[in-house]
Structure formats: structure tokens, C-alpha cells
Amino acid sequence: MSQHTPAVDVSHLAVIDTDGALREAADRVNNPSRRGFLRGAGLVIGGAAVSGLVPGSAFAASSGDVAILNFALTLEYLESTFYAQAKKHAGLTGAYKRFAWTVHEHEAAHVGALQKALGKSAVKRPTFDFGAAVQSQTAFGATAIVLEDTGVQAYQGQAPNITSNAIFEAAISIHPVEARHAAWIRNITGINPAPYVVNPALTKDQVLAAVTGTGFIK
């Protein structure tokens, strides 16, 4: 563990867990490896009972993990800003409106959690221009599908690269939520919500190419 790696606080990414999972987490403390020790520090998993060990604590994360969290944060900035603007300009009604209002809340929560985890290491929110994508309900729907599908593939592609178990668990608590978002908006627009037997993953480069290709990031 390098002395120079930044501290990352993932306690705000904590999800309430069950007794069974807590027991399994405790079992992993007995793993003699260094990373087993870090897992046993009781971050992320569990509510107060477990994180009460070291509430709100930070721990050293690899620079690779920080890069992955910042990659995720960039995508979440993109999504949350997209939804915020669509809510204002796209004239959303009915199911589209319900979707946008709920999903915006989620993406904003993801931004907040990732920013808190990264602290000073967090990248700043870029400037976005969504153009026509947020000017009509139809364009909104089509764009949301692309953004959510890409988000799923991005998290799925990066998760196996994460070295910290706490960050890995946080990432896979977001990944299925993005998949739910993707299926939801697909169903609203009338296309197959679940087009894959096994959802594909994308590499970071593939995701960045797709995102920069949209022209949304200024």
C-alpha cells in the first residue's frame, strides 16, 4: 500500500445489508491478505452496526480505483445534468415525466456519493450542451436509452478492475440501478427492455469514445 495514495471515504456509498451478508463480510476479515484486512475495516457493507467500527472512515485506495471512481463520476455528472435539463425543457408528461423525476434523483445521489468518496480527488463537473436531446420528449427518450445502456456497460466493464472490495461493492450497487433505468425507459418508448441474454460490457476507451461522440461534453 503506497504512502501517497489518496484517502477515499466510501461510507456514503453504504447500503443497508442483512445479517447474512454481514456474517460473510466478517468471515472475510479472517482472510490473511492485506486486502482482506481492508475489507474487514467494515466500510460500505452494513448500516450503523458494522460501519460503527469506523464510521465515515477513509482508507487508502489505489490510483486505479480513484481513476475508476472519477470515470464513474463523469458519467454520473453527464446523466444528472441531462435529466435536470430535460425536466426543464423537454415537455415531459406521464410515464416519461415519472421516469425523469425519479432517475434524476438517483443520478444526483450517485454524483453526491462519488464526490464524497473522492473528496479532493473528485473531478469537477464538465460543461455540457445537450442541444436537441433535451428539447422534446422523443429525443429525450432515445437519448436516455443510450446514456443508461452505456452506463450499465461502463460500470460492468470497470468493476472487475477495482482493487478495493469496498469500492467494488459500491460500484455493483450502482450498476444494477442503471440497468433498471435502461429497461424502464426502453419499455416506456416501446422497445425491448432486456435485449441481452448476458448484458455486454464496454472498456473505458469504448465508453469514452461513445460519450465524446455524442458531443454533449464541451
Partner 1 sequence: MRTEESDPMHNDGVGDTRTEQLVREFDHDEAVGEALAGLHEETQKVEVAPMSRGSLLKRAGLVAGGGIAGMLIPASLARARDGGTKANDVKILNYALTLEYLEAAYYAEAVESGALSGTVLYFAMVVSAHETAHVGLLQSVLGAKAVKKPTFDFKGTNRKSHSFLTTAKVLEDTGVAAYQGQAPLIHQNAVLAPAGGILATEARHAAWVRDLLGAGKTVKPAPEAFSTPKSMSEVLKAVKATGFIKS
Residues whose CB is less than 8 angstroms from the CB of residue 77 and which lie 6 or more positions away in sequence, other chains included:
111, 125, 126, 128
Of 180, 208, 214, 217, the one binding partner 1 by CB under 8 A: 180
Of 1, 53, 91, 102, the one binding partner 1 by CB under 8 A: 102
89 is an interface residue for partner 1 by CB under 8 A: no
Say how far apart CA 145 and CA 138 lie, in whole Å. Answer: 11
92 is an interface residue for partner 1 by CB under 8 A: no
Of 71, 82, 99, 128, the one binding partner 1 by CB under 8 A: 99
Of 75, 188, 207, 211, the one binding partner 1 by CB under 8 A: 188
User: Measuring CA to CA, how many Å separate 106 from each of 75, 88, 186, 205?
Assistant: 13, 17, 18, 25
Of 7, 26, 84, 146, the one binding partner 1 by CB under 8 A: 146
Backbone angles phi, psi at 5, to 5 degrees: -75, 145
The upper half-sphere exposure of residue 198, i.e. CA atoms within 13 Å in the direction of its Cβ, equals 2
80, amino acid identity: S
Q: Using the rule CB under 8 A, give the single segment among 10-18, 82-90, 120-128, 129-137 that binds partner 1.
A: 10-18
Least spacing, CB of residue 120 vs partner 1, in Å: 23
